Amino acid sequence: MATPVWYTPASELLRQYRSKELSPVDVTRAILDRIEAVNPKVNALYLVDHDRALAAARASEERWWRGEPGGLLDGVPVTLKDHIPAKGLPSPNGTRATDLDQPWDSDAPVTARLKEHGAIILGKTTMPDFGFVASGISTLHGTTRNPWNLGRNSGGSSSGAGAAVAAGLGPLAVGSDVGGSVRIPSAFCGVFGLKPSYGRVPYHDPWPWLVTGPITRTVVDAALMMNVITRPDRRDYTALPYDARDYLVDLEAGVAGVRIGVLLDIGFGLPVDPEIRTHVIEVGHTLQKLGALVEPMPPTFADNPEPDFDRCLQVRASLSFAALTPERQRLVLSEIAEWCRRGTAPTALDLMQAIANTGAIRRRTLAAFEKYDYVISPTMPVLPYDAELPWPVGGSAHNQFCFPYNMSEQPAASINCGFSREGLPIGVQIVGQRFDDRGVLQVARAYERASNLHERPPRLS
């Protein structure tokens, strides 16, 4: 069966634009029709910029017919996470507490680069209030649902981005990640998500641990996006020196001789579901058959580092929350509002101790890589939970395999490694040494070629 236009990867769209088998107008119309049919079920996009997307598609079509494409992603549809600025489109941060009466007159670095390379901005995807739960529930947007099972959670905070890519509402999406927010929805929705090294992708409002990254259906498409969104922008004063590498070069290098550790117990957090454990072990076996040197590794931590991470994030969130009027504070999702209020309780000494402790967390995380080039682990210890829950049964400390790599600034990706007995996607995380974004993509691509799980769409009508 031929792949539907709305489920065709960006790399293949570009090939067909070049051969004139398809045009950007054909593709944009097909995806807009798909959004109209499917988005009411999954609630992945809260804003569809229909007219401007078609106008951009027509301009792209003219460039392709002249044989003069305007960039590396000319004519490829992409969605932006709610809080990623784009001129003329509101960025309400997932909450009813945001004043929408603003000019919205700037493009984030990632938005500007995508536009410069001809990508078609379809609209904005949903996120929970302020992005502080790994779930798709929002006071402004409602509940985003998992395309594989509409009763289950899409993950968060890039909830709409993961659901949109899985459901065929655009081949490319931009997410952001401070503790798992690209990788969690990628795992739950069965797609590919890359959290780049800190500073690799310029950010509009930089602060520690927060990165922007691609969510796509294929590793090749993520590499295509990285070739665009990593380009420099003076606004990010934390950015790494620009590396003009082509992420597509050597993407098929494979994993022969690569040292890989399998981390099934990081030392804290929720227990790993047995089905997830089995699938991650099988990924290790697959990589070993491809030539990698694979071995189990011991837990990274003896003590739980999550309270220090949580405290630093919580105090920062409480500052934004405190800046709201009491009336607007009452509009914030209750679980997040209560969490923010608790952020005012720690003393300055408590906060400084937590900040000091983050250095030890970072050292311990990096030390675990002394013997390994890459580490694989579950992305999440649990399967997608109920769509209406802010976090899984058992507690909010469920992202133990994600946030340490934000703190250590390492690149980490989630890729689908199979399905549970209920048919829910399972994600395996691939983590690399600092700055080795390309290597993470290479390992992911080797596994993708061996599994071909990316070719299976969810059964949405």
Q: What is the pLDDT along the chain (461 residues), one digit of tens a residue?
A: 689 999 999 999 999 999 999 999 999 999 999 999 999 999 999 999 999 999 999 999 999 999 999 999 999 999 999 999 999 999 999 999 999 999 999 999 999 999 999 999 999 999 999 999 999 999 999 999 999 999 999 999 999 999 999 999 999 999 999 999 999 999 999 999 999 999 999 999 999 999 999 999 999 999 999 999 999 999 999 999 999 999 999 999 999 999 999 999 999 999 999 999 999 999 999 999 999 999 999 999 999 999 999 999 999 889 989 999 999 999 999 999 999 998 887 788 989 999 999 999 999 999 999 999 999 999 999 999 999 999 888 777 899 999 999 999 999 999 999 999 999 999 999 999 999 999 999 999 999 999 998 888 898 74
As beta bridge partners, residue 4 has: none
Residues 6+ apart with CB under 8 A from 303: 267, 268
Place of tokens 């017919």: 65
The CATH T-level fold of domain 5-455 is Amidase signature (AS) enzymes (3.90.1300)
- CB-based burial label for 121 (10 Å; 0-12, 13-18, 19+): buried
Region class of 59: left (phi > 0), else alpha (psi between -120 and 50), else beta: alpha
Dihedral over Cα of 98, 99, 101, 107: its sign: negative
Residues 6+ apart with CB under 8 A from 225: 10, 73, 172, 214, 216
Place of tokens 């934000």: 406
Q: Where are the beta strands (DSSP E) in 55-171?
A: 77-81, 120-125, 137-138, 142-143, 145-146, 149-153
- Look up 181 and say whether it is catalytic: yes
- Look up 81 and say whether it is catalytic: yes
- Helices and strands, number each (H, E), in the chain: 14, 15
Q: What are phi and psi of 270, to 5 degrees?
A: -65, 150
Closest CA to 179 of 332, 21, 310, 343: 310
197 preceded by a cis bond (ω within 30 of 0): no
Q: What's the CA gap between 37 and 29, in Å, rounded?
A: 12
Out of 135, 176, 181, 318, which one is annotated catalytic? 181
Out of 157, 159, 318, 408, which one is annotated catalytic? 157
**Six-digit token pair at 207?**
């602060």
Q: What pLDDT sits at residue 1?
A: 61
- Look up 157 and say whether it is catalytic: yes
Q: What pLDDT sits at residue 461?
A: 44
* Chain centre to alpha carbon of residue 285: 26
As beta bridge partners, residue 294 has: 260
Helix (H, G, I), strand (E, B) or coil at 29: helix
Contact 399, 157 (CB under 8 A): no
Q: What pLDDT sits at residue 454?
A: 86
Q: Exposure string (b/e) for 126-165, b if CB count within 10 Å is 16 or more?
A: bbbbbbbbbbbbbbbbebbbbbbbeebbbbbbbbbbbbbb
Out of 23, 60, 81, 318, which one is annotated catalytic? 81
* Predicted confidence (pLDDT) per residue in 350-405, tens digit: 899 999 999 999 999 999 999 999 999 999 999 999 999 998 887 778 999 999 99
Q: What's the CA gap between 219 and 194, in Å, rounded?
A: 9
* Predicted confidence (pLDDT) per residue in 182-227, tens digit: 999 999 999 999 999 999 999 999 999 999 999 999 999 999 999 9
Distances (CA, A) of 435 to 226, 241, 256, 409: 13, 11, 20, 8
Q: What is the pTM of this model?
A: 0.97
Q: What's the CA gap between 274 and 277, in Å, rounded?
A: 5
